[in-house]
Amino acid sequence: MANTKSAAKQARVSLRRKTLNKATKTKIKDVSKEFKSLVASGDKAGAAKLLGKVQSELDKGAKKNTIHPNKASRLKAQAARLVK
């Protein structure tokens, strides 16, 4: 339990941020899994169509500081390489 008002507020803010970060990371994971399954099945057209969404979700995560910008860039490059 928080001892001061500021600590109590920080605990509330932390919970709020945690839920938002978790939602963003879940979106990224879901889209990435779908993308990787398309690549594994050999559906290049479907994977190419989904590539934009994968990159968009990674950019949103980096913009919100949920994931590191360099990690987002690395994952985008890997996804693009899989489509080639």
Residue type, 67: I
Average the pLDDT over 16-41 and give the result: 96
Write down the pLDDT at residue 60: 96
Predicted confidence band of residue 1 (pLDDT cuts 50, 70, 90): confident
Domain with residues 5-83, CATH architecture = Up-down Bundle (1.20)
Rounded Cα–Cα distance for residues 59 and 54 (Å) = 9
Rounded Cα–Cα distance for residues 47 and 41 (Å) = 10
Rounded Cα–Cα distance for residues 83 and 69 (Å) = 22
Handedness of CA 30, 74, 36, 54 (dihedral sign): positive
Q: For the chain, where are the alpha helices, taking DSSP H only?
A: 5-41, 44-63, 69-83
Question: pLDDT by residue (tens digit) across 39-84?
Answer: 999 998 999 999 999 999 999 999 999 999 999 999 999 999 999 8
